[in-house]
Each structure stands twice: as C-alpha cells, then as structure tokens.
Amino acid sequence: MLHITFVCTGNICRSPMAESIFRHHVEEEGLDVEVDSSGTGGWHVGADADHRTVQALRRAGYRSAHAARQFEDSWFDTYDLIIALDEGHLRELRAMAPDAAARDKVRLLREFDPAAGDDLDVPDPYYGGRSDFEHVRDLIEAAVPGLLDEVRARLKER
C-alpha cells in the first residue's frame, strides 16, 4: 500500500480538495493507496473543509468528509509521497524533513501536470469566490492523470 498526503496551509481549502479528488480516482481504479491531507499551520485543526471547497467538490460529483490537521515532522516515515500545493509548502516541508530521503518524498502537485508550464503553484482560493475554488479544482484535476501514473509505477515496483 502507498500512503500519500496533500499539504497546503490550513488544510481547509486546497489540500482537502486534492485529497477528495485523488481518493475518488484511486478508489475508482481500485488502487492500494491511502490518501489524506494536512496543513503546514495549525489554525484550523479539527475544522471541516471550507464550505466553498465542499461546494466545488459536490458540483463536480466528489464526496467530502474532512477534519483539518497539521503536518507533523514525525510523519515523514509514514508517507511515500507528500504532495505540496505550492512552492511555500514545498520549502517548508523540505526544511522539516530529517534527511535527504524524506526531502525527496516531497513533490509539487502540478509537477504531475505536463501542461502546467513554469507556474507550479495551486493558488490559495481562501480570499476569493466561487470561481477561485472552481479554478483550484480544475488545476488539481489536471494533475491527477500524471499522479496516477506515478502511483501505478510505484505500486508495480513493490
């Protein structure tokens, strides 16, 4: 089994959206993958996903059940892939990593989207409106096929 976590700032917008979308695809394919999410900060620990995240997910047919949590440095041993939603999260997570092997587990989500170009950040929609959340969902969905390819390859190696 592979263990994957998606990480954003407060774990109420981007990372729970990525978690729900990716879990849907993993379950649809019957892949042996455990998916969750967390945040770099602890402001929202225990909170549900932002209602706009939940709405954007539901409009696209995804389920959402979530309680925010903060990423802990002891979790590097637990996860095979730690997927950051923007460069800031990437830097923060890699700085927390205890060694090079742990740092190598941290990747940007949009690295898996061949059409992403140079802008690999998924923007924070928190201060925006419905269209911002829809845009984030679109960016996440665009990265899913590439991330699924990565997961399938890693599962074959096991």
In the chain the domains, ranked by start, together with CATH numbers, are 2-157 (3.40.50.2300)
8 catalytic per annotation: yes
pLDDT at residue 116 in the model:
97
Task: Give the pLDDT of residue 123.
Answer: 98
Instruction: List the pLDDT tens digit at each of the 158 positions of the chain.
Output: 999 999 999 999 999 999 999 999 999 999 999 999 999 999 999 999 999 999 999 999 999 999 999 999 999 999 999 999 999 999 999 999 999 999 999 999 999 999 999 999 999 999 999 999 999 999 999 999 999 999 999 999 98
Give Cα separations from 97 to 5, 48, 150 (angstroms).
15, 27, 21
Our CA angle for 128, 106, 88, nearest 5°, is 40
pLDDT of residue 138: 98
DSSP string, 14-35: HHHHHHHHHHHHHHHHT--EEE
Q: Residue 158: what pLDDT?
A: 87
pLDDT at residue 63, rounded to an integer = 93
C-alpha span between 79 and 85 (Å, rounded): 16
pLDDT at 51: 97
Q: What would you measure as the largest C-alpha separation in the chain, in angstroms?
A: 43
Is 130 among the catalytic positions?
no
- Is 14 marked active-site? yes
N-to-C CA span, the chain: 9
| Active-site annotation holder among 13, 14, 86, 137 | 14
pTM, entire model: 0.97
Q: Which one of the listed residues 48, 80, 94, 124 is annotated catalytic?
A: 124
* Catalytic position from the list 8, 13, 36, 107: 8
